[in-house]
């Protein structure tokens, strides 16, 4: 095969792959929007669902529950995640213990979310008596997302040019001062992107929360209240009621939320790049 033909063939595969990906994305979004758009109105977004088998009502409690869960999970996730990342990137020497920790983190990142869900059910819901609650859900999500955040944050810290580290230490800064004032700010774009990715996963997570949040359609009033997130509500509507249009409507809100989160992440990432490289 001549160089030109194999080039054409490769291009065809590459473009084909891209086209298929876009096609899948467009199909899903079109299907959901086509079937769900008609139920979207202010009333839908502000009335609570009736729960049970009827499928009547809106999705207000689901929106609020999702928001609460995002906030609680993020607050619980960042200290241990960032702390572990800083430890692994800056303090840990390369010995069998650190290698084991890293291997554990890598493995956990691949464990399916339902396994984390069942673990959360056993530990938080049952043994610790938190029952089906925002707390149980959030703690389970923390376990699920910790490997992801640790990995992302560690990579962001390692990507800081060694010149910054050397420069700060050579000026008589202590190690912690270097981390606090040079490395963390420089790694911030990557870390923030990692956090927002975790937020995205909280919004989309279903299996994990199915066994820890319970199915209550009511508005949560405390950390120990149960509830349902948008993705869970979609699931219940689809499985337990005949309100397919409302399920798709929930899907529209979900997809819109994810698109907004991703667009914001991209914008923020580009903005950080501009600031960091001094082009502003």
Partner 1 sequence: MNIGYSLPTNKAHRRCDLVKLKTQGVNLYYCNFQALRNISLEIPECAITSIIGPSGCGKSSFLRIFNRMNDLIPDVRVEGTIEMNGISIYDKTVDVVELRKTVGMVFQKPNPFPMSVFENVAFGPRRHGINSRGILEEIVEKSLRQAALWDEVKDKLHNSGLAISGGQQQRLCIARVLAVEPSVILMDEPCSALDPIATLKIEDLMRNLASDYTIIIVTHNMQQAARVSDMAAFLMMEEDRAGILVEYGPTSQVFTNPRDKRTEDYITGRFG
Give the shortest CB-233-to-partner 1 separation in angstroms: 43
Closest CA to 45 of 72, 66, 68: 66
**Residues facing 49 on adjacent strands:** 57
Give the shortest CB-278-to-partner 1 separation in angstroms: 3
- Cβ closest to partner 1, residue 141 vs residue 153: 153
Q: DSSP string covering 111-165, please?
A: S-HHHHHHHHIIIIIIIT---SSHHHHHHHHHHHHHHHHHHHHHHHHHTS-HHHH
- Cβ closest to partner 1, residue 71 vs residue 173: 173
- Cβ closest to partner 1, residue 93 vs residue 222: 93
- Cβ closest to partner 1, residue 34 vs residue 159: 159
- Cβ closest to partner 1, residue 100 vs residue 273: 273
Give the shortest CB-144-to-partner 1 separation in angstroms: 33
Using the structure block, give the residue that is written with the tokens 């299907």.
31
**Residues facing 57 on adjacent strands:** 49
Closest CA to 33 of 43, 45, 21, 25: 25
Using the structure block, give the residue that is written with the tokens 């955040």.
149
User: In this structure, what token pair is assigned to residue 113?
Assistant: 């979310």
Give the shortest CB-184-to-partner 1 separation in angstroms: 12
Q: Which residues contact 16 (CB under 8 A, 6 or more apart)?
A: none
Question: Where do contacts with partner 1 occur on this chain (CB under 8 A)?
Answer: 93-94, 161, 163-164, 166-174, 177, 181-182, 185-186, 275-280
Q: Identify the H or E element spanning 221.
A: none
Is the distance from CB of 220 to CB of 135 less than 8 angstroms? no
- Cβ closest to partner 1, residue 82 vs residue 183: 183
């Amino acid at each position: 095969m001549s160089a030109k033909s194999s080039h054409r063939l490769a291009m065809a595969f590459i473009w084909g792959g891209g086209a298929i990906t876009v096609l899948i994305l467009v199909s899903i979004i079109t299907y959901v929007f086509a079937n769900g758009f008609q139920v979207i109105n202010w009333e839908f977004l502000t009335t609570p669902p009736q729960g049970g088998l009827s499928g009547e009502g809106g999705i207000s409690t689901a929106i609020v529950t999702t928001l609460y869960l995002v906030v609680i999970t993020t607050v619980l996730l960042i200290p241990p995640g960032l702390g572990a990342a800083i430890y692994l990137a800056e303090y840990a020497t390369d010995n069998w213990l650190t290698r084991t920790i890293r291997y554990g983190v890598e493995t956990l990142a691949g464990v399916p979310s339902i396994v984390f869900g069942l673990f959360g059910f056993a530990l938080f819901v049952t043994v610790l008596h938190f029952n089906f609650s925002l707390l149980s859900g959030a703690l389970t999500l923390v376990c699920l997302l910790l490997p992801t955040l640790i990995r992302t944050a560690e990579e962001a810290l390692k990507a800081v040019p060694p010149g910054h580290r050397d420069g700060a230490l050579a000026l008589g800064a202590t190690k912690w001062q270097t981390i606090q004032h040079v490395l963390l700010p420089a790694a911030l774009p990557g870390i923030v992107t990692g956090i927002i990715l975790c937020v995205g996963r909280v919004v989309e997570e279903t299996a994990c929360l199915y066994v820890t949040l319970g199915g209550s359609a009511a508005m949560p009033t405390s950390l120990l209240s149960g509830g349902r997130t948008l993705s869970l509500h979609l699931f219940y509507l689809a499985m337990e009621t005949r309100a397919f249009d409302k399920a798709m409507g929930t899907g529209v809100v979900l997809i819109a939320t994810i698109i907004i989160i991703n667009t914001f992440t991209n914008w923020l990432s580009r903005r950080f790049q501009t600031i960091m490289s001094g082009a502003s």
